[in-house]
Structure 1
Amino acid sequence: MNLFLQPVNEKNWRQVVQLEVHSKQVNFIESNAQSLLEAAYDYSLHWHPLALYDEDTLVGFAMIGALHEESMWLDRIMIDQQFQGKSYGKHFIPLLLEHMQQTFPVRRVYLSAHEENEKIFAYYQKLGFIDSNEHDPANGERIMYYNFKK
């Protein structure tokens, strides 16, 4: 694997919009088109949409932002349905965390997930996230966080 992140831009946004999760996952994440619209028009949270590549192949999408004090959100991460089950998420999440720590003054990263997506919580915990046992009042999703080591 030769994984890297690239900002979504005028050259790759159409490909990013075409990425899709499995039909059983559609209710767990906003579409990439909706995420890009949010990034373009919700200035207050300074979203950064990122294309996830393995060499020349676009395999996924992530969106980070909402920097506040020393924390920010890994708000979206998805791997296209044809690339799921190949450990991309397991490798991209640490890459995203490293990017966030090197690019922004953060000590903690938050993410949230739907309760119905039961398997995802153990998956995130294996990657170092901690269950806050709290829910996002805006969408009812369960919040997890990752603390960078000092």
Structure 2
Amino acid sequence: MITLKAVDKHNWEACAELKPPPEQKRFMVSNLFSIAECQFLDGFLSKAIYNDDELIGFTMYGLDPDDGNYWVYRFMIDERFQGQGYGYNAMLLVIDEIRKASDRTDVIMIGYKPDNELARKLYSKSGFREKGISPWGEMLAKYRFA
């Protein structure tokens, strides 16, 4: 069973040690950077992704002050657990948590490198629709609540 738990004093080091496969490292910053960054972004949450009691991934999301929408800033599944459907199930949980937020907007945004095909497939399967390349070079995709 996939669950999301807060990153806290008990699991932050284990979250920092999670790694993507070598060919995906160029697509993201380290989890340690994201955990630190989250300390300074009001309204953002960092969550550990678990399969039962085993830590398998990391995500960070929140309300972006620049456009007022929820954004998924980071999402990763450790290399040992990719290709098993965990990413899809975890993304559905992230979407559901945002759906339940009292300050949620009608959309969730996500950005990724245009050549990251695994991300494109996962986000598309989860309901995100590509909107085009951002000024900073990422593909932007939008999830719209029904």
Equivalent AA in structure 2 for residue 105 of structure 1: D
2:86 to 85, 88, 100: 88
1:46 to 34, 43, 48: 43
Identical amino acids, percent of aligned pairs: 28
1:57 to 54, 57, 73: 54
SS in 1 for 2:13: helix
1:76 to 74, 77, 84: 74
- What's the CA shift for 1:70? 5.9
1:34-61 Cα offsets, whole Å, 9 max, x none, are 1011111x33x43210000111100000
Shift >6 Å, 4+ stretches: none
1:79-114 Cα offsets, whole Å, 9 max, x none, are 000001111011111111001111243221000010
Whole-angstrom distance in 2 between the partners of 1:102 and 1:7: 16
TM-score (norm 2): 0.91
Paired positions, count: 144
In structure 2, the partner of 1:17 is 16
SS in 2 for 1:86: coil
Structure 1 unpaired stretches of 5+: none
2:2 is the counterpart of 1:3: yes
Whole-angstrom distance in 2 between the partners of 1:108 and 1:71: 7
TM-score (norm 1): 0.89
In structure 2, the partner of 1:142 is 139
- What's the CA shift for 1:123? 3.0
Q: 1:104 to 1:32 in 2, by over 3 A?
A: farther
Equivalent AA in structure 2 for residue 130 of structure 1: R
Asked if structure 1 preserves the Cα contact closer than 8 Å seen for 2:21 and 2:79, the reply is yes
Whole-angstrom distance in 2 between the partners of 1:103 and 1:8: 18
Whole-angstrom distance in 1 between the partners of 2:124 and 2:137: 19
